[in-house]
Structure 1
Amino acid sequence: MIPVQGFEGQVVAVLGLGRSGLSAARALKAGGAKVVAWDDNPDARARAEAEGLTVRDLSRAGALDGVSALIVSPGIPHLYPRPNPVVAAAWVAGVPVDNDIGLFFRSFAAGFDAYDSPPRVIAVTGSNGKSTTAALIHHLLQEAGRDAQLAGNIGRGVLDIDMPGEGGAVVLELSSYQTELARALTPDIALFTNLTPDHLDRHGGMGGYFAAKRRLFAEGGPDRAVIGVDEDEGRYLANQMAMGAGDDRVIRVSAAQKLTGPGWQVFARKGFLTEWRKGRQMAAIDLRQILGLPGAHNHQNACAAYAACRAMGMAPKVIEQGLHSYPGLPHRSQVIAESEGVLYVNDSKATNVDSALKALLAFDRIRWICGGLEKEGGLAGLQPGLPHVVKAYVIGREAAGFAMQLPGVESETCTTMERAVTAALAEAQPGEVVLLAPAAASFDQYDNFEQRGDDFTSRVKAALEA
C-alpha cells in the first residue's frame, strides 16, 4: 500500500466505493486521515463499514463541512454530461476534488531521497491499446530482471501496490476519466497511443476527450514522452512537447508510416519494427513471428512499449527477447491454442466496430465468431476487413439481424457460443484462424466481455482435447 501523504488528522471524503474508492479510503486511513465515505449502493456501504470506515451520506446538506478534500471514483461524472450533486456541492463549499491517481502522485515519491536510483513511473494513456501496451512494458521489464508493478486501469489499484525499491518501476494504465481529474500527474515517462472517438458524452465532445489525455503531458511534465503520431492529435501533442526537430525527449511512434528526421523515432512497416535516432538506424525487429502481438494495431503497441523500455535504458536485444515471450493479454488478440495448422484467437475485448476491424485486418483467412448487443452506428465500418473472412458464425439474441449487415460474407446464424465454436472448429482448415472478435457488447448473453471470452476459450480447449 502507498499511504497517502498530506492529510494527517484531516477529514477526507471518498465518493464511490468500488475498487479505486475503497483502495483510496484505505490508503488515506493508513496515512493518518479521518475518512468518511459514501456510495449509493448499500452493499458497497456495508463493505466499507465492515472495514471500519465511517459512512456518511455526502449528498445531505452540510455533509462536507470540515472536509479537506473530496476523492471521486472514476465512474462518477464531475462535469459532463452533468456534475454529480456531491461534486457540485464541493465546488460551492470550496472543497478540492481529486481522485486516487492524484493521491498516488502526491504521495509516491516520499522517502526517495535516500535512493541512488529512485523508482520510476511509466504512465500509458490513449484510446486503444493502453492495456496491451502497459502489460507489455511490465512484461518486458520483468523479463529483463527489473522490479516492476502494473496498476491503474489494469491490474491493481494504484494505491494498493507495494512501495517499490531501489531502481523499481511502476507501469500505470490511465483512462481519460483518471487523467482528467487528477490534481497531480508527474510520470517519468508518459505514453500516448492514439485517439479515436470514445466517452464523448463524459468529456463534452472530442476536444474535451483529447484535453483529458493531454493533461498527462502538459501538466505532468514527463522526462520522456512517447507519442503515437498516426492521428492529428498525436502529431499536435508531439509538436507541443518538443523544443525542436532534434529533441529526443519526445519519441514519435507509428504503425502507418516511416518516420524520418533528426529526432527519436520508432515505427513499424510490413511487420518490422525499426528504431531511428539522430538520423541513424539503431535497431530492427521482425514482429511477424511474435504470436502474442498479431496485426498492425499490436505492432503499434509493440513500438510504444519498445520506446518506453529504450527510454528506461534497456538494450534492443533484451527487449526483442521479451517480445517473443509475451503471451498476450487475456481477451485482447490472445492466442489460446494452435492445432493442426489452425490458430485460435480470443479478442472478446473487441466490443466495437473499430477494435473488431483491427482484429480482422490482423489475419488473412478467418473463421469469425461475432455478434452480441450491437452498438450505435451500425457495422459499415467493418467493410475493409470483410474480405479476410472465410465465414462468419454469428452469436447473440439478434444474430440474424447482425448477419444481414455483413454483405458478401458467408454467414451462419448460431446464436450461442456453443454452436458457433462447434461449427467453426468443424470447418476450419490449415492456415485459417478461428477468431472471436464480436464487434458488439456482451450484455445480451454474458455479464461482461471477460465471461464471453472465457466461454469461448473453455469450449475451444475442450473440443481440441476431446
Structure 2
Amino acid sequence: MIAIHGHEGERVAVLGLGRSGLSAARSLRAGGAIPVLWDDQPAAREQAEEDGFQIRDLTRAGAFEDVTLLVTSPGIPHLYPAPNPVIAAAWAAGVPVDNDIGLFFRALGQGAWDALDTPPRVVAVTGSNGKSTTSALIHHVLERAGRPAQLAGNIGRGVLDIEAPGEAGVIVLELSSYQTELARALTPDIAVFTNLTPDHLDRHGGHGGYFAAKRRLFAEGGPDRAVIGVDENEGRFLANQLSTAPSDDRVIRVSSGAKLSGPGWQVFARKGFLSEWRKGRQVGAIDLRTIRGLPGAHNHQNACAAYAACRALGLGPRQIQSGFESYAGLPHRSQIVAECGGVTFVNDSKATNVDSALKALLAFDRIRWICGGLQKEGGLAGLAPGLAHVSKAYVIGREAAGFALGLSGVEAEICTDMATAVARAVAEAEPGETVLLAPAAASFDQYDNFEKRGEDFVENVHAALG
C-alpha cells in the first residue's frame, strides 16, 4: 500500500466505496488523514464501518464544513450528463475534488524514491481499445526481462494498493477516460495512446469531450516520452501537438497497417511484421504472425504500442520479442482456451460492441462464430467487413432471433444459450476453423458481466471436448 501524506489530521471525504474508494481511504488513513466515507449503498457503508472507518452522509447540508478534500470513485459523474449532488456540494463549498490516480501521482512526487540510484518509472496507457492488452503486455515483457514491475489502475490492483516501488521499478497503469478526466496530478514518465473510437459519450458530453479526457494525460502530464497511435485523426493531432520538429523522438508514432516514414521514431505493423524505424533507418523487426497470444491487426497495434514503450524503457528488440512469444493473452480477450482436432477455440467475451467484435472476426480466417446478447445502439451493419470470414453464426441471448436478422448474408442458427451454441459449433467445426466467442453485444441479458459469459464459454468448451 502507498500511504498518502500531506493531509495529516485533516478530514478527507471519500465518495464511492468500491475498490478505488476503499483503497484511497486506507491510504489516506495510513498517511495520517481522517477519512469520512459515503456510499449510496447501505451494504457498502456497513462494510466500511466494520473496517473502522467513519461514515458521514455527504448529501446533507453542511457535510463539507470541516473537509479539505473530496476523493471520488471514477464511475461517479462529475460534469456530464449532470454532476453528482455530492460533487456539486463540494464545488459550492470550495473543496477540491480528486481521485485515486491523482493521489497516486502526488504521492510519487513526495516519496523518498528520488534518493534511489535508479528511481522508479511510470508507464500510463490510455485509449478506447487495446489498453488492457497493451498494459498487460508491457508488464509481461518487463517481468520476462527481469525488470521489477507492477500492473495497476483500471486492470489488476488499485493503484494505491501496490507496493512502494524500489530500485529501477516500473509501474504500468491502465487508465480509463473516467480516471484521466479528473485526476489533479498526471505525471507519467511514458504515456501511451492506443486509439480512439466513440465510447462513454454521455459521460464526456460528446466525442470531443471524450478525446479531451484522454488528452489530459499528455497535455497536462508532460511525459518524457509519448507513444501515440496515429491511425485516427485524434492520434495524428496529438502527435503533432507534442512534437517540436519532424525529428523529435520524444514522440513515438505507432500504426497498424500503415508504413510510417520520416526522421523521427516510428513503430508500425504491416502484413504481420512489426518494424521499428529511427532517424530514417530500420533498427528492429519482429514477425508477429507466429505469436499466438497476439492474433489479428488490432493486437498487432497493441504489440507496436507495447514494443515502443518497452524500447523507451531501454529494452532491446530481442528482449521484447522473447516476451511477446511467451505472452498468453488476457482472459476474455482473444484468449485461446483449447485446441482439438485442428479446431481452435477462442474466448473474446470482452468484444461487447460491434467495433471490437469486427476486429476479432478479421483476426481469423474460417470462423464458427458465437455471438449475441444485449444489442447496443447503432445496429450490426459495422460487422459487414468481417462477415466473409464466418462459416456460420450461433446466436445466443434473449433477443437471439432479432440479432440473427441483423447478420445479412450469414448462415445463423438461433441457439439462445451458451451450452447449445458451443455444442452445435463443436459438432460442425472442421479442421482449420476457429470457434470464436465475440458477442458484439453486452452480457447483461443472461450474465452479470462479460467475464461470467466468457467463463461459461470456456466451461462448455471443455465439457464438450471431454
- Shorter-chain TM-score: what band? over 0.9
Look up the match of 1:103: 103
Residue 45 (structure 1) aligns with: 45
* Residue 390 (structure 1) aligns with: 391
Deviation at 1:289, TM superposition (A): 1.1
Matched to 2:93, the amino acid is A
- 2:159 aligned counterpart, secondary structure: coil
Q: Secondary structure at the match of 2:425?
A: helix
**Residue in structure 1 matched with residue 56 of structure 2 by the alignment:** 56
Deviation of 1:114 after TM superposition, in Å, equals: 1.6
* 8 A contact 1:342–1:428 mirrored in 2: yes
Partner residue in 1 for 2:351: 350
User: Shift of residue 326 of structure 1?
Assistant: 0.3
1:268 aligns with 2:269: yes
In structure 2, distance between residues paired with 1:338 and 1:28: 48
Equivalent residue number for residue 223 of structure 1: 224
SS at 1:64 equivalent: coil
Q: Does the 8 Å contact 2:152/2:174 carry over to 1?
A: yes
Matching residue's letter, 1:302: A
Quote the offset at 1:458 in angstroms: 1.1
Identical-pair percentage: 77
Aligned equivalents of 1:443 and 1:462: distance in 2? 24
| Deviation for aligned residue 1:242 | 0.8
Checking the alignment, whether the CA contact within 8 Å between 1:14 and 1:36 is kept in structure 2 is yes
Report the CA distance between 1:463 and its aligned residue: 1.8
Shift in Å, 1:52: 0.4
Helix, strand or coil for the counterpart of 1:323? helix
Q: Give the 3-state SS of the residue equivalent to 1:285 in structure 2.
A: strand
Unaligned runs of 5+ in 1: none
| Contact kept in structure 1, 2:256 and 2:300, CA below 8 Å | yes
Q: Determine if contact 1:274/1:285 at 8 Å carries over to the other structure.
A: yes
Provide the rounded CA distance (Å) in 2 between the counterparts of 1:200 and 1:438. Answer: 22
Alpha-carbon displacement from aligned partner over 1:359-390 (angstroms, at most 9, x marks no partner)? 00111100000000111111111111100000
Code of the residue aligned with 2:143 in structure 1: it is Q
**Paired amino acid for 2:8:** E
Q: Distance in 1 between matches of 2:98 and 2:114?
A: 26
Would you say 1:307 and 2:298 are equivalent positions? no
Deviations 1:266-313 (A, max 9, x none): 000000000000001001111011111000000000000000000000
The amino acid that maps onto 1:341 is G
In 1, distance between residues paired with 2:169 and 2:66? Answer: 38
Q: Is this contact kept in 1: 2:113–2:166, CA < 8 A?
A: no
Amino acid in structure 2 at the alignment position of 1:164: P
Deviation at 1:462, TM superposition (A): 2.1
Q: Which residue identity does 2:62 align to in structure 1?
A: G
Q: Report the equivalent of 2:2.
A: 2
Written as runs of structure 1 = structure 2, the 5 A alignment for 1:23-34 is: 23-34=23-34
* Distance (whole Å) between structure 1 residues aligned to residue 443 and residue 340 of structure 2: 27
CA contact (8 A) 1:5 1:106 kept: no
Unpaired runs of at least 5, structure 2: none
Query: Could you give the per-residue CA deviations for residues 313-370 of structure 1, whole angstroms, max 9, x where no partner exists?
Result: 0000010011010000000011111122111100000000000000001111000000
Query: Residue 414 of structure 1 corresponds to which residue in structure 2?
Result: 415
Aligned AA (1:261): G
How far apart, CA to CA, are the structure 2 residues paired with 1:342 and 1:291?
A: 14
Distance in 2, matches of 1:436 and 1:139, equals 25
The answer as to whether partners of 1:197 and 1:206 remain within 8 angstroms in 2 is yes
Matches of 2:338 and 2:223, distance apart in 1: 40
Determine the structure 2 residue equivalent to 1:70: 70
Q: Which amino acid aligns with 2:14?
A: V
1:113 positional shift: 2.3
- In structure 1, give the amino acid aligned to 2:449: N
Report the counterpart of residue 463 of structure 2 in structure 1.
462
Give distance in 1, aligned partners of 2:427 and 2:146.
43
Partner of 1:18: 18
Partner of 1:380: 381
Q: What letter matches 1:52 in structure 2?
A: G
| TM-score, scaled relative to structure 2 | 0.99
- Secondary structure in 1 matching 2:253: strand
8 Å CA contact retained: 2:257, 2:271: no
Which residue pairs with 2:133 in the alignment? 132
Rounded to whole Å, the distance in 1 between the matches of 2:265 and 2:115 is: 32
Give the AA of the match of 1:275: E
Q: What letter is aligned with 1:270?
A: K
Moved over 4 A (4+): none
- What's the C-alpha RMSD, in Å, of the aligned pairs? 0.6
